[in-house]
Amino acid sequence: MEIPNNNSSIKTNACLKQDDTDHQKAGQNIQGLNASGEDRVELTSQAKELQEAMKFMEKIPDINQEKVHRLKAQIKDGSYKIKTDKIANKMLEDSLYNQYL
């Protein structure tokens, strides 16, 4: 079956030529390989810092078990003191904050 006025091969060739030009500008051939024939990715220093920070954060537990055990022990032996003034202040702060949203 023939499709009349089919210019898709012209468009495809034009895209390939443009892609080839873009890769050559970047010092690469059409397959996206560098001059030595190996794939290569370079990260900015900011991206490297972000990766290091993410690795560090993954090592930190979500729950501070030491604090949980300490608070449980205080509650059990009756030495845990509820700071009612801090609770009241926080409730007022939240209430005022939510009024102005």
Mean pLDDT throughout 67-93?
95
- 8 versus 84: which is more confidently predicted? 84
Q: What whole-number distance in Å separates Cα of residue 65 and Cα of residue 69? A: 6
Asked if the model's pLDDT at residue 13 lies above 50, the reply is: no
Say if CB 23 and CB 32 are below 8 A apart. Answer: yes
- 59 versus 20: which is more confidently predicted? 59
Asked if the model's pLDDT at residue 68 lies above 60, the reply is: yes
Return the domain boundaries, the chain.
7-60, 62-101
pTM for this predicted structure = 0.35
